[in-house]
Amino acid sequence: MAPSCVPGRVLPGEAHADMPDLAHLVIMELRGPGRYPRDRGGRTAALDGGRTGAGPGRRQESVAGERQPGTAGHQDKKGDDAMELFPPLPLAEWRDTKETLHRFEQLIGKIRLTSSTRRNHWWNVPFHLTGRGITTRPMGQSDGNPVFTIDFDFVDHQLVVSTLDGTAVSFPLLGQSVSSFRHSTLETLSDLGIEADIPHPEPFDLPDSSRPFSQDTEHAAYDPEYATRYWQVLSQVALVLEEFAADFSGKCSAVHHFWHTFDIAHTRFSGRQVEQSPQTDPVTREAYSREVTSFGFWFGDDTFPEPAFYAYAAPEPVGLSAEPLSPTAARWNEQNGSHLALLRYEDARAEPDPRAAVLGFYDSAYRAAARRAGWDMERLASPEGITDQQLVPHG
């Protein structure tokens, strides 16, 4: 389902007990049917993130024209000091918040899966970044629903559901268990005339994958500071990946955030079709139907308990792990016979120029895979995003 794999996760071609379940989920779901604009009553449907006592699932309306925290005309924090690139994000300090957010995002991601038009390599599924959080992007219409979008706002800490007619309804993320989050989400969608059935309504590839979202009252931790930090780091990494993506003119994915593995990735394609085993599950077959190199960032979990930048090739060319990586702290990590290029987040932060170090890491991993796989790197290049060589600045 995602053209990406991350430390501690399954590499292409490996067996995975959960894969048939995910394949079934995909097949079944694909068969199924100002900041806060004014609603029909002329008011804004906006929340204060729980600061005035709005409880979980409770929506609060305010009169149009009243300034909302984080909107134009309201400055929550001084912006005099530039924010640090790649600020500290130790997994141990926000693990509980991350586990809650991961399940929130999987639930919304499954709604995105059922309500969007299928794209090659599952590109319809991931979230994209916004100036306040992450978004499903517009969906609906073809399934009979109104056109709608679901956004996580990590500035005011709300889930915002908006429709094409300008209506927006939101509720706070703070104070929600997974169970109450599910209830508030479905209630909000219903209020807007949106039918959102969620087949297989339980987490994917998480320790509690047998427990329905509706029964999960365990995961309820939400630290607003770390939720915001998560989005800020995600945004910074996304822009580095966008900069890296500019130098490639061939088929490539957007920079997007996968909700099932909780990573952000960008993938390049050679154009060569990959012959796969008849036993390969439908999700993997579509994700890796073409030869790829993929690049991303992951926040860590129990199997690899720290954030890291990564890259890999699928299928993996012979001798890949013998290729050099940059910077010197980067390494090839072997996993069941396959290799993942890794640069620990803390090692990148320790570099004199972290941005340049990460760009150098991605470039070295790409060149390693492309050389070994025989890609025409010169033909596929677009220096500084330019494909016409006469337009490339010299000197």
Helix (H, G, I), strand (E, B) or coil at 346: helix
The per-residue pLDDT for 81 is 56
Write down the domain spans for the chain: 224-385
Which of 267, 275, 226 is closest to 366 using CA atoms? 267
Which of 2, 79, 64 is closest to 34 using CA atoms? 64
168: left (phi over 0), alpha (psi -120 to 50) or beta: beta
- Concatenated DSSP letters for 82-135? PPPSS----HHHHHHHHHHHHHHHHHHHHHHHHHS---GGGTTSSBEE-SSEEE
Pairing of strands 44-45, 61-62: antiparallel
Distance CA(395)–CA(193), nearest Å, equals 59
Asked whether 35 and 197 are in contact (CB, 8 A), the reply is no
Asked whether 341 and 330 are in contact (CB, 8 A), the reply is yes
The per-residue pLDDT for 56 is 46
Q: For residue 49, which amino acid is it? A: G
Which DSSP letter does residue 306 get?
S
The per-residue pLDDT for 47 is 31
- Concatenated DSSP letters for 1-65? --S---TTSPPTT---TTHHHHHHHHHHHHH----S-B-TTS-EE---TTTT---TT---EE-TT
Chain centroid to Cα 105, Å, comes to 9
User: 145: how many CB neighbours lie within 10 A of its CB?
Assistant: 19
Residue at token pair 């494909």: 387
Q: Name the pTM for this structure.
A: 0.80
* CA distance from start to end of the chain: 44
In angstroms, what CA-CA distances link 339 with 1, 11, 132, 328?
20, 9, 35, 17
Q: Report CA dihedral (197, 202, 203, 208) to the nearest 10 degrees.
A: 170
Phi and psi at residue 288, in whole multiples of 5°? -120, 40
* Consecutive 10-residue averages of pLDDT for the chain (395 residues): 42 40 40 32 34 39 36 43 88 97 95 71 80 92 81 97 94 98 95 86 92 97 98 97 90 85 90 75 67 93 93 93 97 92 98 98 97 91 77 70
